[in-house]
Amino acid sequence: MTTPLKMTAAEIASAVAGRRMSALDATDAALARIKQHDGILNAFTDVTAERARARARAVDTAIASGKKVGPLAGVPFAVKNLFDVEGLPTRAGSKINRDLPPARRDATLIERMEAAGAVLVGALNMGEYAYDFTGENVHDGPSRNPHDPTRMTGGSSGGSGAAVGGGLVPIALGSDTNGSIRVPSSFCGIFGLKPTYGRLSRARSFPFVASLDHLGPFARSVSDLALAYDAMQGPDPDDAACTMRPVEPVTPLICEGLGDLRIAIAGGHFQNNLFPEAVEAVGRVAKALDSTQVVEVPEASRARAAAYVITTTEGASLHLDRLRKRPHDFDPAVRDRLFAGAMVPAALVDRAQKFRRWYRARVAELFESVDVLIAPATPCIAPKLGQATFVLDGVELPVRANIGIHTQPISFIGLPVVVVPVPLEPLPIGVQIIAAPWREDIALRVAYALERMGVVAAPSPRGL
């Protein structure tokens, strides 16, 4: 009988580097947890046990011979199955991609995590082609919420949320185009970082919407989130959008405290379409940060609409050939959205791209007078699996279309966000801590301060 993870990544790495625990033992413990609990969570689509043990032995050998190991020595981690993993076809949640040849090289971010000593233990379930907010998958079955397996994990990085929320691994990687890191973080009660657009390399990951795709980490503590993020930073010529900025480590900065940071609550769009639990979560975070100022993010609803248009049309462009050749092999819900996306007139897409630049300039002005914005991550706690609608203010609304309503206007202009989990009963819910471009350090500082105050925390999984 195994128990969910009790150690943070930082604690595992310290124990492994100090030879109080072997990397192999840490890896075997993760593999045992996966074996024990993944039948419920359905987080993993591939478990790379042989590779993981070989990698762990290499870390142990390096330590035994006195070689310097990285800050993630022996830390097990897993990746959404749109990351290339050498030897596996990169399925990206689809049936069609399983016919691809096995990847010949790992994604850049896996290489960087392993260079820091981490040990890849597998690939994770996700919504088909990342066009999803639920974590449900018609081919592999849904990933299930670790606090209540009858509920959604959120998506599209659903397996990442389940694996970290369920304590199978301390760190997972995922992608976020419109909210796919932030939504599962909220529903599964964990920390998630969607960095600035262009900060982390996307090389050798399966794309969705090139101008909106981000990769980032999930963890059960802010320190672990920062450790993983620092390990993955740096320019990469294999991703055209990856910044040439030098590595800017945040781990030494997160404990600097709130200082004189100007923290405001996002108003307007971000205070509408909320269930009471989301209002409560934002209120708790704002109170802890002594934040009372409410600022309007100009035209945020229209920004969400523009993100929707760009997503559906760029997504359709990506999949046009597959739609023609293998329409029966798609999840019907994804296929029908992509067909529709292919028919949106180009003039309207161009308008959305022009609006995007206008909106980015207005939000940049806003960040001249504030350093941090607080906003809900999701309108509600995790809905039931298969739930199609919810009733809000007496109006029945579709679940799928509205889960990401508060995340989309933020990723639309690439702002860095840390989602912090507020451990409400019966289920946790996340709050977005949003900073100006390239200021992940500020968002993480605020998240760390909230964690120290005990306002936010990743609750133990109650569904296992």
Partner 1 sequence: MAADPLDDYIHAASQALALPIEEAWLPMVRVNLEVSLRMARLVDEFPLPDDAEPAPVFVA
Q: Which residues are catalytic?
A: 80, 156, 180
Lookup result for tokens 């142990």: 60
Is 247 an interacting residue with respect to partner 1 (CB under 8 A)? no
Is 344 an interacting residue with respect to partner 1 (CB under 8 A)? yes
For CA atoms 25, 29, 31, 35, give the dihedral sign: positive
Output the smallest distance, CB 99 to partner 1, in A: 19
Cβ closest to partner 1, residue 118 vs residue 415 = 415
Total chain residues near partner 1 (CB under 8 A)? 48
Output the smallest distance, CB 271 to partner 1, in A: 19
Q: Which of 357, 393, 396, 426 binds partner 1 (CB under 8 A)?
A: 357
How far apart, in Å, are the Cα atoms of 278 and each of 75, 186, 283, 374, 406?
Answer: 33, 10, 8, 12, 11
Q: Which of 19, 262, 287, 351 binds partner 1 (CB under 8 A)?
A: 351
Distance of alpha carbon 21 from alpha carbon 11, whole angstroms: 10
Output the smallest distance, CB 342 to partner 1, in A: 6
The 3-state DSSP class for residue 224 equals: helix
Which amino acid does the sequence have at 408? Q
3-state helix, strand, coil in the chain (%, to 5): 40, 15, 45
Determine the interface stretch with partner 1 among 63-71, 109-117, 333-341, 385-393 (rule: CB under 8 A): 333-341
Q: Which of 119, 352, 372, 433 binds partner 1 (CB under 8 A)?
A: 352
Is 212 an interacting residue with respect to partner 1 (CB under 8 A)? yes
The pairing of beta strand 214-219 with beta strand 171-176: antiparallel
Distance of alpha carbon 411 from alpha carbon 399, whole angstroms: 20
Distance of alpha carbon 353 from alpha carbon 339, whole angstroms: 21
Cβ closest to partner 1, residue 414 vs residue 430 = 414
Q: Which of 299, 371, 440, 451 binds partner 1 (CB under 8 A)?
A: 299
Query: Which helix (H) or strand (E) is 231 found in, with range?
Result: helix 222-232
Is 179 an interacting residue with respect to partner 1 (CB under 8 A)? no
Query: Residue 237: phi, psi to the nearest 5?
Result: -65, -15
Output the smallest distance, CB 355 to partner 1, in A: 5
Cβ closest to partner 1, residue 100 vs residue 320 = 320
Is 306 an interacting residue with respect to partner 1 (CB under 8 A)? yes
Residues 188-207 close enough to bind partner 1 by CB under 8 A: 196-198
Q: Which of 413, 434, 450, 458 binds partner 1 (CB under 8 A)?
A: 413
Q: Which residues of 311-331 are buried (b: 16+ CB within 10 A; e: fewer)?
A: bbbbbbebbeebbeeeeeebb
Closest Cα partner for 247 from 236, 228, 234? 234
Is 211 an interacting residue with respect to partner 1 (CB under 8 A)? yes
Cβ closest to partner 1, residue 345 vs residue 426 = 345
Which two three-digit tokens encode residue 234? 């740096």
Distance of alpha carbon 301 from alpha carbon 337, whole angstroms: 21
Distance of alpha carbon 52 from alpha carbon 111, whole angstroms: 13
Q: Which of 28, 49, 339, 392 binds partner 1 (CB under 8 A)?
A: 339
Is 315 an interacting residue with respect to partner 1 (CB under 8 A)? no
Own/partner contacts of 139-143, CB < 8 Å, gap of 24 or more, are 139/93, 139/94, 139/95, 139/331, 140/42, 140/45, 140/93, 141/42, 142/42, 142/385, 143/41, 143/42, 143/43
Residues 430-459 close enough to bind partner 1 by CB under 8 A: 437-438
Output the smallest distance, CB 132 to partner 1, in A: 14
Residues 118-157 close enough to bind partner 1 by CB under 8 A: none
Cβ closest to partner 1, residue 168 vs residue 370 = 370
Cβ closest to partner 1, residue 57 vs residue 322 = 322
Q: Which of 100, 241, 253, 366 binds partner 1 (CB under 8 A)?
A: 241
For residue 90, the number of C-alpha atoms closer than 13 Å in the C-beta half-sphere is 19
Q: Where are the beta strands (DSSP E) in 267-394?
A: 294-295, 372-376, 389-392
Cβ closest to partner 1, residue 382 vs residue 436 = 436
Residues that bind partner 1 (CB under 8 A): 196-198, 211-212, 241, 299, 301-302, 305-306, 308-309, 312, 320, 323-324, 327, 332-333, 335-337, 339-345, 348-358, 360, 401, 413-415, 437-438
